[in-house]
Amino acid sequence: MQARKLKYSTNLILLIVIMFAILVVINFISSKKFSRMDLTQNKVYTISDSTKNVLRNLDDIVTIKAYFSKELPTYLLNLNSQIKDILSEYKAYAKGNLNISFIDPADDEKLQNELRFLGIPQVQLQVINKDKAEVMKAYLGIAIMYGDKKEALPVVQSTQNLEYDLTSAIVKVTSPEEKRLAFMSEHGGKELDKDYKEIKKEIEKQYTIVTYEAKKGKKIPSNINTLVIASPMNLTERDKYEIDQFIMNGGKVIFLIDSISREEGGLQANPASSNLEDLLVNYGVRINQNLVLDRSHSNASFSSGFIRYSLPYPFWVKILKQFLDKNNPIVSSLETLVFPWVCSLEIVQDKLEGLEAAELVKSSTYAWDETAPYDLNPQQSFGKAQTNQNQYTLAVAVSGVFKSFYADKQIPKPEFEEGDETAPPDDSKRETIAECKNPTQIIVVGNSVFTDDHFIAQFPGNALFFLNMIDWLTLGEQLINIRSRGITDRPLKETTEKEKGRIKFLNMFGVSILVILFGILKFILRKNRKRRLQQAS
């Protein structure tokens, strides 16, 4: 009996030891091999492949310090654990090159002073305590450090965009060189600090922004990675020459071109020219002097006296997911865009030698166009919508080895106003670059309004499109897939008039027809059953 008890106890202890060893092994393997299941459509709770690649390619230690107060309002209680989960996933893919720590700076005045210089403030949060509104101070910031470079996320109150903010900060501090983005000024175009203030805030998170003044033969600096030209008007030949040579030097350019000049707040428009038309044709893209209207469109708000009203407005073209290039990362993850007063583009096939063109954005197949004179009145009858329908290209990306528009021409002289005593640039030793040294890219969009402050507030997909263009040209595909996640729009499928008629008929008579058919079927079955019973008897 004693031997049996001893044997039983030994087996039990051995079983416990084995189970403990199994748990230790599983825990060790799980710490080395991170895995989780995410059943959401866009995998919003799993870090993207782009982030994983960034983390796997780290060549040295990146330090992330999360400065979070332990005492937080109830609505932020889960934030700490959510951020810890995300950062633990980051650490799992970083192969030991990521140090993470959580710090509460509440009682450390010296640390609080350091955080102020770092750009992480102490924020005031509202708390309801015993039916009274109170204010408490807390820290909700994250610092990313690599060598002597530092980036800060000053206030993190949600994990919605945390992956993009974290990964872009890691890319920024680990990049060997600063990425510079330039906006062209002058010539009546869009101004960064006036028209694009909101989008500027997002761009500044990743890039250094400068302004290039296109005047007096000034060269575009070679340290600029990407140039944005938004709604230029009547550029000189010398301006075009500098743009051309910037591209020949491997520079990337985003052209946002308007084919009309619209009165501010008005409904009148006139044809407009940027003088870039022949230059862009040389690069394989033709800008048409028209406006595209579409049966797939958004509503627009207008004022009449003291009354403000909203109407369906075909001039505000709504682009659906199926008309975005699924093979290009700039738009492949987007759901919808809205382009107001947009002109159409054409790809000039005989200019594409050594180049590859991609139609990024198209209208629906139920679109039509209008040429001058333009009537922008929202209360007009858009009867033409039912005829002459077509599909139009609205944005194009061209990649490859470009040939200079000025390869066989003299260098244009800069234009000076009368009385201007500025010395002209010395072009005697300058040689025109006839062909790109290395493959590069340009993007042409038939509109510059879609990304100004007014429109990105209404249509967040527009901001993503613009930021994705900049990322694709400047950084490649590293950050695009991260930013586009979580932005969803599920518009109703476009239906033809015949389909609408069938749906209306089914709604009105479908149930009645089903009831009648069910009654007839039941009558037939009952009659057959009665016949069988009579035959059996």
Quick: pLDDT tens for 300-349: 887 666 677 788 899 999 999 999 999 998 998 888 999 999 999 999 99
Q: Using pLDDT thresholds of 50, 70 and 90, give the confidence band for residue 108.
A: confident
Q: Using pLDDT thresholds of 50, 70 and 90, give the confidence band for residue 537.
A: low
Query: Token pair of 317, please?
Result: 């073209």
- Is the overall model pTM greater than 0.95, yes or no? no
Q: What is the mean pLDDT of residues 68-76?
A: 83
Q: Where are the domains of the chain?
A: 49-167, 180-414+431-483, 507-537
Percent of the chain's residues with pLDDT above 90: 34
**How many other C-beta atoms are found inside a 10 Å radius of the C-beta of residue 524?**
10
Instruction: Please give the pLDDT value at position 422.
Output: 66
Q: What are phi and psi of 214, to 5 degrees?
A: -85, 90
Q: Which of 46-55, 165-174, 199-208, 355-364 has the highest mean pLDDT?
A: 355-364
**Could you read off the pLDDT of 236-279 as tens digits, one per residue?**
899 999 999 999 999 999 999 998 887 766 677 888 888 899 99
Q: Are 285 and 444 in contact (CB under 8 A)?
A: yes
Rounded distance between C-alpha atoms, residue 501 and residue 497, angstroms = 6
Instruction: Please give the pLDDT value at position 191.
Output: 80
Average pLDDT taken over every residue of the chain: 84
Instruction: Please give the pLDDT value at position 188.
Output: 62
Q: Are 93 and 34 in contact (CB under 8 A)?
A: yes
Instruction: Please give the pLDDT value at position 323.
Output: 95
* Token pair 């509109």: residue: 447
Query: Token pair of 285, please?
Result: 């893209």
Instruction: Please give the pLDDT value at position 205.
Output: 85
92, amino acid identity: A
Instruction: Please give the pLDDT value at position 131.
Output: 63
Instruction: Please give the pLDDT value at position 187.
Output: 61
Instruction: Please give the pLDDT value at position 418.
Output: 61
pLDDT at 439 over 60: yes
Sign of the alpha-carbon dihedral angle for 327, 333, 334, 335? positive
Report the CATH architecture of 180-414+431-483: 3-Layer(aba) Sandwich (3.40)
Report the CATH architecture of 49-167: 3-Layer(aba) Sandwich (3.40)
Instruction: Please give the pLDDT value at position 12.
Output: 78
Rounded distance between C-alpha atoms, residue 255 and residue 403, angstroms = 17
Rounded distance between C-alpha atoms, residue 7 and residue 303, angstroms = 91
Instruction: Please give the pLDDT value at position 308.
Output: 75
Domains 49-167 and 180-414+431-483 share a fold: no
pLDDT at 59 over 70: yes
275, amino acid identity: N
Instruction: Please give the pLDDT value at position 10.
Output: 78
Instruction: Please give the pLDDT value at position 402.
Output: 96
Residue 1: DSSP 8-state: -
Q: Using pLDDT thresholds of 50, 70 and 90, give the confidence band for residue 185.
A: confident
Q: Is the peptide bond before 312 cis (omega within 30 degrees of 0)?
A: no
Q: At what angle do helices 162-174 and 49-56 cross, to 10 degrees?
A: 30
Q: What is the mean pLDDT of residues 60-64?
A: 93
